């Protein structure tokens, strides 16, 4: 019996949501909380990413993002392979205590 190889993919969500009114701030906070609760890591304030096991998982999480869209604002999603993600450069000025720059980066979830 041949085992199927699992292809790890990263799903990025980028967003620009209005926060001028109380309702807009509430909607933006609700969306960010949804992303965190759904397993996304915050890379920057409006850039979140999560690892997925294959195309089916990407499709499932894209559907969940669509279901939780705020009424206003701009949201984009991008999928990349784990290998492409591993080639990301992290460039910091004075590094915060929770981030380090390393040759190879491994994220375990």
Binding-site positions for Mg(2+) read 16
Q: Taking the CA atoms of the chain, what radius of gyration do you get in angstroms? A: 16
Binding-site positions read 16
Dihedral sign, Cα of residue 32, residue 100, residue 11, residue 50? negative
> In whole angstroms, what is the distance from residue 79 CA to residue 96 CA?
27
Contact status, residue 82 vs residue 12, Cβ threshold 8 Å: no
3 state SS of 36: helix
């Amino acid at each position: 019996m041949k085992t199927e190889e699992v292809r790890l993919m990263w799903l990025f969500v980028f967003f620009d949501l209005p926060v001028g009114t109380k309702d807009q701030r509430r909607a933006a906070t609700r969306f960010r909380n949804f992303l965190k609760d759904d397993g996304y890591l915050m890379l920057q304030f409006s850039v979140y990413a999560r690892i997925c096991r294959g195309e089916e998982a990407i499709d499932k999480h894209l559907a969940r993002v669509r279901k939780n869209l705020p009424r206003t604002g701009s949201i984009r999603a991008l999928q990349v392979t784990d290998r492409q993600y591993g080639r990301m450069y992290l460039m910091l000025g004075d590094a915060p205590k929770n981030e380090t720059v390393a040759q190879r980066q491994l994220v375990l979830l």
